[in-house]
Amino acid sequence: MVKRPLQVLLIEDSDDDAVLLEIEIRRAGYAPVCHRVETPEALRSALERHNWDLVIADYRLPSFDGLAALALVKEKGLDLPFIIVSGFITEETAVAAMKAGAHDYVMKDKLARLGAAIERELREAEVRRERRRAEEALRRIYEELEVRVQERTAELKTANAKLQAASAARRRLECELLEITESERRRIGLDLHDDLGQQLSALALMAKGLELKLAKRRSRETSDAARIYHLVQQAMNRARDLAHDLATLDPKGDDLPTALDGLARHAEKLFKISCRVEVAGNIPPLESNVVSQLYKITQEAVTNAIKHAQAKAVGISLAKGSGEIILTVHNDGLPFPDLEGHSTGMGLRIMNYRANLIGASLDINGEGPHGTRVICAVPLEGKK
């Protein structure tokens, strides 16, 4: 059996102990390349000069200790498995080390545990790397969307400056912007579902297979594999919900109260917040375009409340006024960041565009240090 190569940084002041650690690592099925340091300066130099797979540190050294070594590793921004090995360590000290970021600790008189600890921490480090790669992919997708929307908005501003007298042309351009935004959201939602979703599914199958193999061997790492599988399942559910939100933008039918109630239930399930809908009066049937734009204005307001205002409770109310339908969305979070500056954010501009398309007015007001209220009033004439 070919042994797996492993770059190991040993923080140890004893040559004999370093040799014993290397022997134990080889016994666990690795081909380690070990480098020993025993001072903070040597540790900094080693971290800067080389890429390591694993750090094993004695808890007590003449010039510093394991916790100080851990702090130096974290200072470099490195996510390396860090295992403390000590001849004697109290339970309180071990707990403090784990809270500080150490991944495991092994007593020097029980080095037989070292191989299993290394195997587990290398596996969990790989899971963390995969999660970071997935998060980075999601971040790039969102940044790409934002850049494209901003570029299109700049083009729209230029066009509006030239066509101030042509109201019909401006409305056509606003419709085009919204279509591009929704098309891009649907495309990204499909990419999340088809690409990232499949990768996560494959990773889940691999994790489940590993769990079953370990269970057959009655290995104590079975629970770790099950935990990895559970985390991947959570990531799959999160990606699926995001894909659903991005790809499914239009409400079904012309029943606005029912559509808003569905939106509120979905927000409660996805973001674990309170989201309630109140309907006052008899809301008449509305054109499908009016229902669609009011639904999307509500969706944007709820998203802003959660994303920017960090709200824990969102209220949606729909009422029939004197010749108009009044939609109100309020939250208990911080005021929208866009309300505090001179510029209007992309999300608020899009809400204004949607209101203009259906001849509605849109007002957004902060309610002191906590909460924001979005009010959209749609004239009933010609909207039925």
CATH code at 23? 3.40.50.2300
**How far from each other are the two terminal CA atoms of the chain, in whole angstroms?**
76
Tell me the residue type at 180: I
DSSP for residue 110 = G
Same domain, 162 and 84: no
In a domain, 311, yes or no: yes
> What pLDDT does 174 receive?
62
> What pLDDT does 168 receive?
61
In a domain, 384, yes or no: no
Q: How many CA atoms lie within 13 A of 30 on its CB side?
A: 22
Domain boundary residue, one of 85, 119, 153: 119
> What pLDDT does 83 receive?
93
Range of the domain at 148: 123-247
Domain boundary residue, one of 197, 224, 247: 247
User: Total structural domains in the chain?
Assistant: 3
- Rounded to an integer, what distance in angstroms lies between the CA atom of residue 290 and that of residue 250? 11
> What pLDDT does 36 receive?
93
Domain boundary residue, one of 225, 247, 269: 247
Instruction: Count Cβ neighbours within 10 Å for each residue of 48-66 and write b for 16 or more, e otherwise.
Output: eeeebbbbbbbbebeebbb
In a domain, 15, yes or no: yes
Calculate the alpha carbon distances from 27 to 24, 30, 357 in Å.
Answer: 5, 7, 71
| Contacts for 145 with CB less than 8 Å, ≥ 6 apart | 184, 185, 188
In a domain, 111, yes or no: yes
In a domain, 139, yes or no: yes
Same domain, 237 and 298: no
In a domain, 323, yes or no: yes
pTM reported for the whole predicted model = 0.43
Q: What residue has token string 């309300």?
A: 339
Closest CA to 358 of 290, 297, 295, 283: 290
β-partners of residue 194 are none
pLDDT < 70 positions in the chain: 1, 165-187, 189-194, 197, 241-254, 336-346, 382-384
